[in-house]
Amino acid sequence: MVCETIQDIIEALWKRGATISEVNTVRKHISDIQGGQLAKLLYPATVVSFIFSDVPGDDMSIVASGPTVRDTSTIIDAEHILAEYNVLTQCKLPDCELVETPKEEKYFQKVTNVLLVTNKVALLAMKEKADALGYQAEIRDTALQGIAPNIGAYFSTMKCSPGSCMLYGGETTVELSDSPGKGGRNQEFALGALATIPTDEVFVAAASDGWDNTDVAGAIIDEGDRERAKQAGLDPKMYLSRNDSYNFWRQNGGAIVTGQTGINVSDFYFLIRAKS
């Protein structure tokens, strides 16, 4: 695609599988607010920024592209990302409208950034609930990344003990076809796991904000979902190839619909195995 606007640049990065950290690094260098630019605009005022992290690893310079955080990335970093995903050569804007972020320490001396809520905070609450229900719960990772259906397929083959609950957080990516359908990374994650999910396990992939690029947050699956798909003649691989996971789950059942929660702390994935 030819990139004629800033939004085109960001859309091209998402379509080609860039991570949220990579996309937000580019955003910092095409914005008048992000990448510490807001702190510069507010200087010399005293600033307190309360942050909800939707970024694996909770790097505050990446969350919302760090409007009040001193940025260590450079235009060169942004150019490398654009080049890696073949966006730089297709950009019709002068220099892709990249700008350098403020580096001077003075702009940040009176800025306090407070990390209020993270993915791990939410996972700890889930663990507490799972423990109360008699499961052996464990938080395995809070910064899971990768291609959604590939990671989903791997998840469905992981070994877990009876009565266990394995919790993960993070944010995967999707590689889009030339004519993508409707869906999201969590719906593709679950679709990737469907073919090999064991008979005594339940798997969930869901967006904390309730919006997985659609009005669906994600999907919850077990062996029954696989059997229904077989009986209905629904081919998960075909829907994945079309990036049309939304319509698969709409027909097969299993979609999680919460409505938008208003809080984004990335995504949740967990496996629960039945008790003995």
- Residues 196-219: tens digit of each pLDDT: 999 999 999 999 999 999 999 999
Residue 91's pLDDT is what? Answer: 80
Mean pLDDT of 53-77: 94
24-51 pLDDT, tens digit each:
999 999 999 999 999 999 999 999 999 9
Which residue segments constitute the domains of the chain, with CATH numbers given?
A: 6-116 (3.40.50.10180), 119-273 (3.40.1480.10)
Residue 2's pLDDT is what? Answer: 66
Give SS3 for 45. coil
Evaluate if residue 1 carries a pLDDT over 70: no
DSSP state of 3: B
Residue 187's pLDDT is what? Answer: 98
Largest Cα–Cα distance in the chain? 66
CB 212 within 8 A of CB 173: no
CB 53 within 8 A of CB 123: no
Evaluate if residue 189 carries a pLDDT over 60: yes
Mean pLDDT of 134-155: 95
CB 203 within 8 A of CB 235: no
